[in-house]
């Protein structure tokens, strides 16, 4: 049995999108361990005296739609009157004890695959600040974030998957460090292979940032980081950008990686990409 609890503050003003993305973000914790979600409980904080209850209804509707899509059941929840809306799920799932996938099993020789682009954090903040188009966010970013990671994990489990983590609040480098420390290995990332949401780099270039970049940078700084190519400040910030409902980072044998990538693309996960490899060495990260 897997039990996870996760909730977020609104990344967007639209309550239905908020509910969908929050639920997908919460359910992903079960998927990333190879599990199947079974039940979910709403976790709600809402300023009932200041916002229309119709907003809460749409948040919960979005969350419920994602729970149903995942094949799970929404069985209740808990609400608290709070100054700022927050929403997520407590998700219960199951996985065979011998088939639990963790972020600590990567091995030298593995290839790393990432199933969603990066850069959502700065785009959310830029949209709130009126510097990025809400229409463009809804068109090209929100549908990807609201997409469940279940199909990607289903395809990955058909291979010799050694490790997995969903890339969320710690940013790409933060989650790579977790993987490196957990397995005692050294990830090497090809910057040119990474995919970013359109507009994310330009927002950093124009001075936009997030409240988590600084903390993510401090986390990564505790371990060796080698950036072996010239990156602009904006490009470097993208490596620390916090994701909401980000993609899965999968580590599997090199000889199986192309087959999995083809399966992901055929299944409609066309943004999945090879981003690097795992080598022997002290825990840390190299960006080439």
Domain ranges of the chain: 2-99, 110-287
Bridge partners of 188, per DSSP, are 277, 286
Residue 42 pLDDT > 70, yes or no?
yes
Residue 7 pLDDT > 60, yes or no?
no
Report the CATH fold assignment for 110-287: Phosphoribosyl-aminoimidazole Synthetase; Chain A, domain 2 (3.90.650)
To which CATH superfamily is domain 2-99 assigned? PurM-like, N-terminal domain (3.30.1330.10)
Q: How many residues in the chain? A: 288
pLDDT of residue 207: 95
User: Under a CB-based contact definition with an 8 Å cutoff, are residues 91 and 37 in contact?
Assistant: yes
pLDDT-derived band at 13, boundaries 50, 70, 90:
confident
pLDDT tens profile 168-200: 999 999 999 999 999 999 999 999 999 999 999
Question: If you average pLDDT over every residue of the chain, what do you get?
Answer: 95
The continuous run of DSSP H or E covering 166 comes out as strand 163-166
The mean pLDDT value for 128-132 works out to 93
User: CA angle, corner 96, sides to 244 and 92, nearest 5?
Assistant: 45
Q: What is the pTM of this model?
A: 0.94
| Distant-in-sequence, close-in-space partners of 238: CB < 8 Å, separation ≥ 6 | 118, 119, 122, 172, 194, 196, 200, 201, 204
The continuous run of DSSP H or E covering 14 comes out as none
Maximum mean pLDDT: which of 45-49, 82-86, 124-128: 124-128
Residue 269 pLDDT > 90, yes or no?
yes
pLDDT tens profile 205-258: 999 999 999 999 999 999 999 999 999 999 999 999 999 999 999 999 999 999
> If DSSP states are collapsed to H, E and C, what string results for 60-104?
HHHHHHHHHHCCCEEEEEEEEECCCCEEEEEEEEECCHHHCCCCC
């Amino acid at each position: 049995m897997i039990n996870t609890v996760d909730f977020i503050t609104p990344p967007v003003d639209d309550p239905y999108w908020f509910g969908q993305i929050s639920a997908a973000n919460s359910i992903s914790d079960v998927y990333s361990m190879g599990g199947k979600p079974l039940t979910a409980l709403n976790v709600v904080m809402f300023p009932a005296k200041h916002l229309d209850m119709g907003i809460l209804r749409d948040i919960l509707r979005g969350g419920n739609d994602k729970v149903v899509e995942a094949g799970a059941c929404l069985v209740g929840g808990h609400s608290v009157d709070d100054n700022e809306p927050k929403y997520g799920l407590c998700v219960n799932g199951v996985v065979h004890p011998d088939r639990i996938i963790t972020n600590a099993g990567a091995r030298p020789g593995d290839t790393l695959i990432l199933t969603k682009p990066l850069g959502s954090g700065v785009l959310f903040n830029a949209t709130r600040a009126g510097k990025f188009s809400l229409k463009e966010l809804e068109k090209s970013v929100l549908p990807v974030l609201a997409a469940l990671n279940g199909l990607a994990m289903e395809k990955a489990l058909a291979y010799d998957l050694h490790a997995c983590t969903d890339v969320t609040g710690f940013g790409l480098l933060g989650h790579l460090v977790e993987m490196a420390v957990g397995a005692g290995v050294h990830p090497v990332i090809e910057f040119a292979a990474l995919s970013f949401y359109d507009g994310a780099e330009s927002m950093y270039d124009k001075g936009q940032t997030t409240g988590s970049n600084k903390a993510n940078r401090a986390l990564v700084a505790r371990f060796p980081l080698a950036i072996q190519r010239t990156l602009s400040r904006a490009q470097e910030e993208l490596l620390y950008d916090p994701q909401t409902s980000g993609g899965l980072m999968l580590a599997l044998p090199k000889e199986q990686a192309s087959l999995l990538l083809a399966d992901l693309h055929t299944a409609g996960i066309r943004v999945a990409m090879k981003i690097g490899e795992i080598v022997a060495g002290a825990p840390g990260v190299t960006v080439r």
